[in-house]
Amino acid sequence: MPAPMFTVLGDSFAQGRGDPAPGGGYLGWVPRVAAALGIPPSRVRNLGEHGATTQTVVDRQLALATAARSRLVGITVGGNDLVSDYSRPRFEDNLAAIFEALAVPGTVAFTITFPDIPGRLPIPPGLRDLLRERFDAANAYIRPLAARLGMPCFDLAHADGTDDPSLWNPDGIHPSPRGYEAVAEGFVTLLRAGGGEGAPARGNSEAMAFGP
């Protein structure tokens, strides 16, 4: 495989779970973003793993991603930390380590905030409130961290229409195919616009021209 131009790290949201591919596996937002930016499938490497936490990314994915030296890097991870393996200091330290390792000159690293997943889960109100506090705190950490590092950040938490049931699978956690399409469109719009609030810094703007 030639060196990847586009590398993705993360969990089942990166993997595309909930959007089955015709030949097996999953589609998700990654191939849609690549196609829109003219990046051939042979130059895409998706390291996303079902059940991955930020610690999983640090332990198993980060070294592979940094070694690839891709021009474009997507990072979508943390939901599993927030719902099942929560330590706020570890979560924040890991995200900082991941972002700082990948938001380097010559690379555009981008990320996303969390939508209201707790609001779609069939859980007791007290637990829903607790999880919402975690998700809100995570988003409040991600936004300034990404901005400081010059990382485009798709603020899905504040995007219009995220409460549309057709965008989500019945599990309430993973997007539907239509939902992944919407996420891909959000990422592509953000990247083509130069990153918006978290625009690329440190000379990264030259990496915005993608394609073979």
Q: Tell me the domains of the chain and their CATH numbers.
A: 6-208 (3.40.50.1110)
The count of C-alpha atoms lying within 13 angstroms of the C-alpha of 70, restricted to the half-sphere facing its C-beta, is: 33
Residues 187 and 32: beta-carbon distance below 8 Å: no
Question: What global pTM score does this model have?
Answer: 0.90
Name the strands in the sheet holding 153-154, side by side, starting at the edge strand that comes first in the sequence.
Answer: 44-46, 6-10, 72-76, 108-112, 153-154
Are 151 and 111 contacting, i.e. CB atoms less than 8 angstroms apart? yes
**What are the C-alpha distances in Å from 66 to residues 60, 70, 71, 114, 207?**
12, 8, 11, 24, 16
> What is the pLDDT at residue 203?
33
Do residues 43 and 212 lie in contact, with contact meaning Cβ atoms separated by under 8 Å?
yes
User: Three-state DSSP class for 156?
Assistant: helix
Task: Kindly give the interhelix angle for 88-102 and 125-149, rounded to the nearest 10 degrees.
Answer: 30
Bridge partners of 15, per DSSP, are none
For residue 1, the model assigns a pLDDT of 61
- Strand residue runs (E) in the chain: 6-10, 44-46, 72-76, 108-112, 153-154
184 phi, psi to nearest 5 deg: -60, -45
**Closest Cα partner for 182 from 158, 159, 157, 201?**
159
134 φ/ψ angles, rounded to the nearest 5 degrees: -65, -45
pLDDT (tens digit, 9 = 90+) per residue, 15-70? 999 999 988 899 999 999 999 999 999 999 999 999 999 999 999 999 999 999 99
DSSP code of 49? Answer: -
Distances (CA, A) of 103 to 110, 118, 161, 191, 203: 8, 29, 29, 14, 11
**Residues in the chain where the model's pLDDT stays below 70:** 1, 195-212
| Amino acid sitting at position 212 | P
